[in-house]
Chain A
Amino acid sequence: MSDTATMTEQIRVLVAKPGLDGHDRGAKIVARALRDAGMEVIYTGIRQTPDMIAEAALQEDVHVVALSVLSGAHLELFPRVVEACGQRGITPENTLFLGGGIIPDEDADRLKEAGFSAIFGPGAHTGDIAEFVRAQVPELDRS
């Protein structure tokens, strides 16, 4: 039994890849970076359906749902994850939705309308992602 850090609520992040593309290097780098920033990252792996991701987000009671898609299907898949989460009471008001991948700016705008707080593309600094999460999580309604 340890005496350290058991008394504070850790930031918990779900990192998942919806859809069929198997390119998970980006997701793994982000998972690793958030781990190194002191967060608990639940990694679910590739080829997840929106329902699988939403169910994992529910059971794990995460603060953040971070999705990665590299196949170009982000406009199709990301909003469906938000929808599946919404059916379980997990909404942008109580959970931070982040997206990553090869995502054009105009698509990023549409995703933000769909509930995503931020979209990180290639070249995004992992430190910025961790900082963004740390700044935004206290704003969530976790009552």
Chain B
Amino acid sequence: MTTETADAPQSELSGRLAELEERLLAGDRRALARVLSWVESGDERGREMLRALYPRSGRARTIGLTGSPGAGKSTVTNELAKSFRQRGQTVGIVAIDPSSPYTMGAILGDRVRMTELYSDDGVFIRSLASRGALGGLSAATQDVVHVLDAYGKDVILIETVGAGQDEVDIAGAAQTTILINTPNMGDEVQTLKAGIMEIADVLAVNKSDLPGADRMVSALKALLSLNPDRGWDPPVVRVVATQGEGIEQLTEACDSHFEELQTSGKLEAGELERARQQITALARANVLDRLRTETGEQRLADLSGAVANRQADPHTAAAAWLGES
């Protein structure tokens, strides 16, 4: 193959990417949707688009919403989006649902609670499957946020997979993290445990028209009073998302937290930390990809057999797979 024929498809591709980038930056929603697919799949086109768009990101406010399945994350997200829209800010929503660990298929159902937003040009909703990631996000979540940011969204809401006790990746992905609780989620011991309770910048008690809301609010406040001084006391906000109650207070609580980030210098620190985490995560994925060649997989199968038969221990086998012995 001559250089000319090898280069031709490449420049044709670059031309198409440049056109798509131009359309995206001009506000074309279909171009945005397509670029998000590429970025999510992590292929070369996606990486090239991200290289081009990344310098334009960094302007959006990012807010993460997490909580257990059924706590009302999608409904609260829907209401928050409306609240920011009323102020004239544009909103991007990234909603993550779990992939099957067996088939990699997924049902992404968060839009069911967001049908009010469909006719608003100022809102763009993208559903993502977790695709095997375990921390409550998907591997591509940060990149999807970068693209929505570059597209010009003022606020980006990131809704995690229904989280248990330690799906805490969202804390590293968003500037402000809202933890959504509901009444009667368990006794105070639950609120004492490490993990998800520690990452909240704002706590919402959703469905607070149900019995037990008062107790939940006091339990959370009691827990927070034991926290070491972080310079920020996470507020506890009562919400009935299906009625839109408490949403204004929730929005204001997010604002206060954002102002605190700005005045304390934590905004820049958080940006650095997010960058560090994303680089680390990408490097880890990259190392694994390099190991997973055909011979690498064969080597892994052999080593797995040795470990299962107690001929080698897992640590030694992992070192061997990495080529350290």
Residue interface bits B19-52, CB-to-A below 8 A is 1, else 0:
0000000000110011011000111000000000
**Residues on the B chain within 8 Å of A60, using CB:** 33, 108, 126-127
In the complex, are the beta carbons of B41 and A9 less than 8 A apart?
yes
Identify A56's interface contact among B105, B118, B292, CB under 8 A. Answer: B118
In the complex, are the beta carbons of B30 and A88 less than 8 A apart?
yes
Identify B36's interface contact among A4, A41, A61, CB under 8 A. Answer: A61
**Residues on the B chain within 8 Å of A12, using CB:** 37
Q: Which of B109-117, B235-243, B309-317 lines the interface with chain A?
A: B109-117
From known contacts A35-B100, A58-B30, A59-B125, infer whether A6 and B131 are also in contact, taking CB-CB under 8 Å. yes
**Residues on the A chain within 8 Å of B16, using CB:** 143
In the complex, are the beta carbons of B105 and A2 less than 8 A apart?
no
Identify A6's interface contact among B29, B105, B119, B285, CB under 8 A. Answer: B285
Selected A-B contacts with CB under 8 Å, 25 pairs: A1-B281, A2-B285, A3-B132, A3-B289, A3-B292, A4-B104, A5-B131, A6-B132, A9-B37, A9-B43, A10-B41, A10-B104, A35-B105, A35-B106, A37-B105, A40-B106, A41-B105, A41-B108, A42-B109, A43-B109, A43-B111, A48-B115, A58-B30, A60-B33, A60-B108
In the complex, are the beta carbons of B285 and A32 less than 8 A apart?
no
Identify B111's interface contact among A2, A9, A56, CB under 8 A. Answer: A56
Residue interface bits A7-42, CB-to-B below 8 A is 1, else 0:
111101000000000000000000110111111111
Sorted from nearest, which 5 A-B pairs have the closest CB atoms?
Answer: A2-B132, A35-B105, A3-B288, A61-B33, A45-B112
A contacts, CB < 8 Å to B: 1-10, 12, 31-32, 34-45, 48, 51-52, 55-56, 58-61, 88-90, 143
User: What total of A-B pairs shows CB separation below 8 Å?
Assistant: 118
B contacts, CB < 8 Å to A: 16, 29-30, 33-34, 36-37, 41-43, 99-100, 103-109, 111-112, 115, 118-119, 124-127, 129, 131-135, 139-140, 281, 284-285, 288-289, 292
